[in-house]
Amino acid sequence: MHKKNFIEPAVVSLALLLISGILWITDADRFMTSLVPRDHIIAAALPECNRAWPVGNLFPWNMLYKFAPVPAVLLGVSALLILLIGFFKTQLSSWRKKALFILLLLALGPGLVINVVLKGHLGRPRPRQIVEFGGTYEFTQCWQPGTGGSNSSFPSGHAAIAFFLMAPWFIFRDKKPRYAEAFLISGLLFGTLVGIARILQGGHFVSDILWAGGLLYLLGNLLGLALGVYKGGPTDHCNHSNK
């Protein structure tokens, strides 16, 4: 196993911890949330239930929130079909392990780890729930247990399911780096945009979005190596371009 398999996730983990430390020390989570526009003129044109965080309920942010799960659902359904058909069609048999990877990452990442274990038990209040923004709960930092109950702010479930668009990156990174990079960039961009939408809606802090993407990457890296979906190490771009 190439040393890059350990260096890459280690660097990502250290970056996550460093940025989280900066957000914690500077109280940047609350500060950046305080910058979200809450214009009363915009609010007056919206239904009463959406007036507290009006910008996030306008186009395109409301559509990003609504359609965040769509790419992940399409990937999941495609993977399930490939997995099942692969038992009968020899042309798809080599894709069964890759399809299984997509399904397991979907179940373990946005499913079990992020939405059930962390969101269900850490209890971090959402921005709209804390005292500073009209709520009743005290602010807590990322990874700090709070009293916000289940379905809490940390990490962001919607951002995680949007970041899942990067999942094929792990499948293609060894042999089709250009495809891999396209999925990686698309997933990071889509996850970031959905994350911004959730911040504008008062649903999440910046650190919630950061860790949603980071955890999905780390889980994908671990699962991909465990299943042998990719071997890691340096990629021979010249070799693959001729295949």
- Provide the CA 65 distance to its chain's centre, in angstroms: 13
Q: What is the mean pLDDT of residues 108-131?
A: 96
pLDDT averaged over the chain? 90
Question: Which pLDDT value is given to residue 47?
Answer: 59
Question: Which pLDDT value is given to residue 29?
Answer: 97
Confidence at 189, pLDDT banded by 50, 70, 90:
very high
Report pLDDT digits (tens) over 44-80. 555 555 567 888 888 999 999 999 999 999 999 999 9
| Lowest model confidence (mean pLDDT) among 83-97, 101-115, 225-239 | 225-239
Of 72, 68, 84, 64, nearest to 168 (Cα)? 72
From residue 160, how far is each of 43, 95, 212, 226 by CA, in Å?
28, 24, 5, 21
Write the burial class of residue 48 (CB in 10 Å: 0-12 exposed, 13-18 middle, 19+ buried). Answer: exposed
Q: How far apart are CA 105 and CA 103, in angstroms?
A: 6
Paired with 137 in beta bridges are 130
Please, what sign has the CA dihedral across residues 205, 208, 214, 216?
negative
| Lowest model confidence (mean pLDDT) among 5-19, 31-45, 81-95, 99-113 | 31-45
Residue showing tokens 């949330």:
33
- Tokens for 81? 């079909």
233 pLDDT exceeds 60?
no
4 pLDDT exceeds 80?
no
pTM of the model: 0.90
| Lowest model confidence (mean pLDDT) among 2-11, 175-184, 192-201 | 2-11
From residue 122, how far is each of 20, 47, 151, 227 by CA, in Å?
16, 31, 9, 30
Domain boundaries defined on the chain = 4-241
- Tokens for 156? 């962001």
Q: How far apart are CA 52 and CA 58, in angstroms?
A: 12
| Lowest model confidence (mean pLDDT) among 46-55, 93-102, 138-147, 212-221 | 46-55
Instruction: Enumerate the H helices of 35-69 as residue ranges.
Output: 40-44, 61-67
Question: Which pLDDT value is given to residue 237?
Answer: 45
Write the burial class of residue 27 (CB in 10 Å: 0-12 exposed, 13-18 middle, 19+ buried). Answer: exposed
The enclosing H or E element of 16 equals: helix 4-26
Extract the runs of DSSP E, i.e. beta strands, from 22-151: none
| Lowest model confidence (mean pLDDT) among 70-79, 87-96, 114-123 | 87-96
The three-class DSSP label of residue 137 is: strand
Confidence at 240, pLDDT banded by 50, 70, 90:
very low
Question: Which pLDDT value is given to residue 74?
Answer: 98
Report pLDDT digits (tens) over 151-172. 899 999 999 999 999 999 999 9
Q: Give CA torsion, residues 163, 166, 168, 171, to 10 deg.
A: -120
235 pLDDT exceeds 60?
no
Confidence at 96, pLDDT banded by 50, 70, 90:
very high
